[in-house]
Chain A
Amino acid sequence: MSLTSEDGARVAAEPASGPWRAALRKLVQNRTAMAAALVLVLVVLACIAAPLYAKYVAHTDPFGSNLDGQITIGGKSVPVMQPSPTGLGMTPIGPTWRAQYFLGADNQGRDVAARMLYGGRNSLLIATGSTLICLALAGLVGVVAGFSGGIVDTVLARALDVLWAFPVYMLAISLSVVLISHGLKLGPFTLQADSLLIPVIIIGVVYVPYVARPIRGQVISLARSDFVLASRCLGVARRRILLRDIVPNVTTTLIVFAPLMMALNMLTEAALSFLSIGVQPPAASWGTIILDGEGLLYTRPMVALAPGIAIMITVVMLNFLGDGVREAFDPRAKLRVKSDR
């Protein structure tokens, strides 16, 4: 791949098909980005096909405990949970590398491979949902703060500071406890304890300052730029300036942020799962499967390794795609992916 920044002049010199289509064309021509996108599509398809895999390949219910199950390997019947000769402790079956229990079983005797596919659905949904929430909120806050200035800006900027330094885990633990018994009613929406929306909202909100700050900076510098000043002098309405000059620029920045935020959110989901916040058993996400595997790390490391590798591959691909999007849409943008905190 090439990260060489190309100056905006070339983009402008493209045939008059609008900057967005030009950017899209540029993205499509980026082979690394397209390869990454392809891998991501395959991951998504595999996760969508989870029920098919569970039913027709693994012949298993990935959410039901299967502690006294038996499977046939090479004509022999083997228990899924293998008792030790001393009658103390049970060891789940390791990777069979066959259709059933391809990656082995977890401590409930469930097929890890099938759970991986189901878990991927939740991980991807959470990463996508929280990214949308984060970008929408951050865009709104950034634009309002940057464009209004004055007291509104001060208040919003301080709120972002508070959120940025606030302990995410505390908020997450508390929210998940509060919601079990009471649920949360926000107008027409009711949030329940087992809802995927909980991790989605927590992760989405937590990273708002991370995106909102650069947006605010961008809006402030746009508002002071020569062409906006010129428009103002010409008496163009503020609303018009906002819609014509500010919003398109901010949208571009948000698009550039999207894949990178998704990557970051996926890592955060895993970290929250480590604290038993988020997806609750018997449902799964890649993060919760890592947690399941933690208790089996020394005997059946595959349970923890597989979801970690899945996260890694997905995040790498998202970053590749993110690089491509950045190059295509906004070569000058200086972005960085932050690790989970």
Chain B
Amino acid sequence: MILVMVRRLGEMVFVLVSISVLVFLIFFATPGADPAARLAGRGATPATLAAVRHSFGLDKPLPVQYVLMMKHLFVTQDLTSFVNPGEKVVPAVLQAVPVTLSLVFGAAIIWVIAALVVGVLAAWARDTVLDRLLMLFSLIGVSMPVFWLAEVANLITQARYHDTWLFSWVPALGYVPLSVSVVGWFKSLVIPWTVLAVTYIGLYGRVLRSNLVEAMNEDYIRTARAKGLSERQIILRHALRMSLITLVSMFGLDFGLLAGGGALLIEVVSGLPGVGELTYQALQNLDLPFIMAAVLYGAVFIVVANTVVDMLYAVIDPRAR
């Protein structure tokens, strides 16, 4: 078991190192991305450009620059931005983490509860009008571009119907820290939570329903039925328990992706200064130190989630080893 863990850890490190090297190389291969000219300012002479390049260590060979960057990011943790010189990267990322976690946790609670309701209801009422309607809405939920849905939500709650009783409570776009005001925090996040949850409600609802329906045909359910248990008891006590295994692994992967900054566009459109927004800004600015930090932060979440899910599977299903 320890050996498996060590191997897994080694693989994770390999993936992270590869990603950082690739990001680094791609950055320097992109025309116009060289930060020296932007740091020097418009109209700088070649001499000034060279001096700036030297003072930021950009004239060193790429492997040396890479090692230095990694050292500043992980060892001394004082890596600074190329766009806002002096701005430290690590605290900026740490500052964005609570925002993203607030968004993702809240949305996750909504989508898990709602998906359970949708899935169970649809399975219970399978092949009725209710089932079809629920599945249709789930499908529509899965089929909308998330950032577009967020824009439509802005349109409705910030402009068109902002003055009606329904949405007059919606605050201006932005994030209110939990420590400042609990109510403000909640209000600022309700709309983004809902928007982000919509896709996953549809997704999980559909998967849950089909798993439940499949499980209903299994032998042990037939046994339960023969014992005279009600349909409701069968679904909730027996079928649901088995189906949740799939959902838990799905949840692990999705949560990892989102917590790592995967909710990038929704954070941007909803004006939430989380890790996704930070990544977006860094990409827009082509600010390598920030890109590196944000990408590695996100990759850690993704890789860890993958590993955890794989290992869970290995525990549940020995064949998968």
The residues of A with any CB-CB pair to B shorter than 8 Å are 1-5, 158, 161-162, 164-167, 169-171, 173-174, 177-178, 181, 217, 221, 263, 267, 270-271, 274-275, 287, 290, 294, 297-298, 301, 304-305, 308, 311-312, 315-316, 319-320, 334, 336-341
| Closest Cβ–Cβ distance, residue A221 to chain B (whole Å) | 7
Q: Which of B245-301 contact A (CB under 8 A)?
A: 246, 250, 257, 262, 264-265, 279-280, 283, 286, 291, 295, 298-299
Taking CB as reference atom, which chain A residue is nearest B27? A174
Q: How far is the CA of A2 from the CA of B127 in the complex (A)?
A: 7
Chain B hits for A158, CB < 8 A:
11, 14-15, 18
Q: Is the interface of B mostly helix, strand, loop or mixed?
A: helix
A337→B31 contact, CB < 8 A:
no
A339→B155 contact, CB < 8 A:
no
**B-side interface size class:** 35 or more
Taking CB as reference atom, which chain A residue is nearest B126? A4
B147 in contact (CB, < 8 A):
yes
A and B contact pairs by CB, cutoff 8 A, 7 listed: A164-B302, A167-B23, A167-B279, A267-B145, A308-B145, A315-B142, A340-B145
Taking CB as reference atom, which chain A residue is nearest B15? A161
A311→B144 contact, CB < 8 A:
yes
Chain B hits for A3, CB < 8 A:
135, 209-210, 213
A174→B145 contact, CB < 8 A:
no
Q: A178-B30, A274-B147 are in contact. Are A165 and B23 (CB under 8 A)?
A: no
B188 in contact (CB, < 8 A):
no
Q: How far is the CA of A228 from the CA of B120 in the complex (A)?
A: 39
A339→B30 contact, CB < 8 A:
no
A298→B210 contact, CB < 8 A:
no
B203 in contact (CB, < 8 A):
yes
| Closest Cβ–Cβ distance, residue A36 to chain B (whole Å) | 10
A311→B26 contact, CB < 8 A:
no
A5→B213 contact, CB < 8 A:
yes
A319→B143 contact, CB < 8 A:
yes
Q: Which of B11-49 contact A (CB under 8 A)?
A: 11, 14-16, 18-19, 22-23, 26-27, 29-33
B222 in contact (CB, < 8 A):
no
| Closest Cβ–Cβ distance, residue A44 to chain B (whole Å) | 17
A315→B302 contact, CB < 8 A:
no
B203→A162 contact, CB < 8 A:
no
Chain A hits for B22, CB < 8 A:
162, 166
- The listed residue (B143, B265, B280, B283) touching A315 by CB distance below 8 A is B143
Chain B hits for A341, CB < 8 A:
257, 262, 264
| Closest Cβ–Cβ distance, residue A274 to chain B (whole Å) | 6
A162→B18 contact, CB < 8 A:
yes
Taking CB as reference atom, which chain A residue is nearest B145? A270
Chain A hits for B140, CB < 8 A:
312, 316
Q: How far is the CA of A161 from the CA of B306 in the complex (A)?
A: 9
Chain B hits for A167, CB < 8 A:
23, 279, 283, 291, 295, 298
B70 in contact (CB, < 8 A):
no
Chain B hits for A178, CB < 8 A:
29-31
Q: How far is the CA of A73 from the CA of B115 in the complex (A)?
A: 48
Q: How far is the CA of A158 from the CA of B18 in the complex (A)?
A: 10
A177→B31 contact, CB < 8 A:
yes
Q: How far is the CA of A316 from the CA of B199 in the complex (A)?
A: 12
B145→A290 contact, CB < 8 A:
yes
Chain A hits for B257, CB < 8 A:
341
A174→B26 contact, CB < 8 A:
yes
Taking CB as reference atom, which chain B residue is nearest A299? B159
Chain A hits for B145, CB < 8 A:
267, 270-271, 287, 290, 308, 311, 340
Q: Which of B139, B145, B152, B286 has the most chain A CB within a 10 Å cutoff? A: B145
| Closest Cβ–Cβ distance, residue A94 to chain B (whole Å) | 14
| Closest Cβ–Cβ distance, residue B6 to chain A (whole Å) | 15
Chain A hits for B237, CB < 8 A:
none
Taking CB as reference atom, which chain A residue is nearest B246? A334
Taking CB as reference atom, which chain B residue is nearest A331? B214
Q: How far is the CA of A214 from the CA of B148 in the complex (A)?
A: 30
Q: How far is the CA of A221 from the CA of B16 in the complex (A)?
A: 29
* Top-8 shortest CB links A-B: A315-B143, A165-B299, A308-B148, A270-B145, A339-B199, A165-B302, A174-B30, A316-B143
B89 in contact (CB, < 8 A):
no
B54 in contact (CB, < 8 A):
no
Q: How far is the CA of A167 from the CA of B297 in the complex (A)?
A: 11
Chain B hits for A271, CB < 8 A:
145-147, 265
| Closest Cβ–Cβ distance, residue B111 to chain A (whole Å) | 11
| Closest Cβ–Cβ distance, residue A187 to chain B (whole Å) | 20
Q: How far is the CA of A271 from the CA of B286 in the complex (A)?
A: 19
B139→A336 contact, CB < 8 A:
no
Taking CB as reference atom, which chain A residue is nearest B303? A165
- The listed residue (A174, A263, A270) touching B148 by CB distance below 8 A is A270
| Closest Cβ–Cβ distance, residue B233 to chain A (whole Å) | 21
Q: How far is the CA of A4 from the CA of B183 in the complex (A)?
A: 45
B193 in contact (CB, < 8 A):
no
| Closest Cβ–Cβ distance, residue B79 to chain A (whole Å) | 17
| Closest Cβ–Cβ distance, residue B289 to chain A (whole Å) | 13
Chain B hits for A315, CB < 8 A:
142-144
Q: How far is the CA of A301 from the CA of B154 in the complex (A)?
A: 11
B210→A169 contact, CB < 8 A:
no
B227 in contact (CB, < 8 A):
no
Chain B hits for A166, CB < 8 A:
19, 22-23, 295, 299
Chain A hits for B250, CB < 8 A:
336
Q: How far is the CA of A339 from the CA of B139 in the complex (A)?
A: 12
Q: How far is the CA of A308 from the CA of B155 in the complex (A)?
A: 14
| Closest Cβ–Cβ distance, residue A197 to chain B (whole Å) | 19
Q: How far is the CA of A139 from the CA of B56 in the complex (A)?
A: 45
Q: How far is the CA of A1 from the CA of B135 in the complex (A)?
A: 9
A162→B159 contact, CB < 8 A:
no
Q: How far is the CA of A315 from the CA of B149 in the complex (A)?
A: 14
Q: How far is the CA of A267 from the CA of B23 in the complex (A)?
A: 25
Q: B118-152 vs A: 1/0 string, CB under 8 Å?
A: 00000000110000100100011011111111011
